[in-house]
Structure 1
Amino acid sequence: MAVFNKDIVELTEKNDFFQKEVYRDSKIQIVLMNLPAGEEIGMETHNADQSTFFVSGEGQAEVDGAKTKVGPNHLIVIPKGAEHNITAKGSGALKLYSIYAPPAEPAGVAFKTKAEAEAAEEGFVSRAAKKLKEAVGR
């Protein structure tokens, strides 16, 4: 297997996707994010530990109800199962990357906008509900 050796800060700064996977193996996943001013990820939880490093911009992180300011060179750790949200609070984009252990986002995730990510998630939930209904015979 090739070694993943990239300038993660440069990759994050250049990223203009809402969410984009740059590395994944069976144990970890690295995802870049770009939140335009005023945008938020939306409250969520994962079945993985998440470490998020902020490269540029100003924002707020909320983890299990505790809110904290975030900005360049800040790192937050979000434990598995913790309800969390990240919001861009400054006048520019909030650029960050997250490392999930084990992987938490769909393989190959790459969404230009939050709307694309939400539509994909709704589609996934709809397909899962359909399969469940078929399995129980309804």
Structure 2
Amino acid sequence: MKGFVQDIEGLAHKNDLFRRVLYTAKNCQLVLMTLKAKEDIGIEVHKLDQFFRVEEGSGEAVLDGVHTPIRDGFAVLVPAGTTHNIINTGTVPMKLYTLYSPPNHRDGVVHATRADALADKESFDGITTE
């Protein structure tokens, strides 16, 4: 079957990796993420749009300096060119998934920790899942 059809909520709850690319299409990419207590994604600015959905935990979305509390069930849409960060302000892991449009990472990439992600200078190479 083409495409990705799975229980994204269940996958997000089970994920303990900082970043795991699940599926890469030509124009978007689905990625699981987990932020440890007090961990953040890091301040970023992309030339692409990004969507986050929090499945578990609580924290803050920071978009162009505006801090907004978020928790499970919240969605965050980050337009291209927006300085942003997602921060886990809680005491338990924050489980979420994100969609990049267009893709931002190499298909299938896994970063167990934030340190692994920072050390890896990878980027999308044009290769999709299918």
The TM-score normalised by the length of structure 2 is 0.89
Shift of residue 47 of structure 1?
1.6
Shift of residue 104 of structure 1?
1.7
Separation in 2, partners of 1:11, 1:4: 12
Aligned alpha-carbon RMSD (Å): 1.4
Misfit runs of 4+, over 2 Å: 105-109
2:20 aligns with: 20
Identical-pair percentage: 39
Secondary structure of the structure 2 residue equivalent to 1:108:
coil
CA contact (8 A) 1:18 1:35 kept: yes
Shift of residue 107 of structure 1?
2.8
What are structure 1's unaligned runs of at least 5 residues? Answer: 125-138
Amino acid at match of 2:91: S
CA contact (8 A) 2:23 2:107 kept: no
Whether 2:90 is the aligned partner of 1:81: answer no
CA contact (8 A) 1:47 1:104 kept: no
Separation in 1, partners of 2:105, 2:61: 19
Q: Deviations over 1:6-52 (max 9, x none)?
A: 00000101111100101101111011100000101110111211110
Shift of residue 4 of structure 1?
1.1
Separation in 1, partners of 2:41, 2:101: 19
Q: Which structure's CA Rg is the greater one?
A: 1
1:7 aligns with: 7
How many residue pairs get aligned? The number is: 123
The structure where helix makes up a greater share of residues is 1
Separation in 2, partners of 1:52, 1:3: 20
Q: Deviations over 1:53-105 (max 9, x none)?
A: 00000111101111101101000100011110111111100111011111122
The TM-score normalised by the length of structure 1 is 0.84
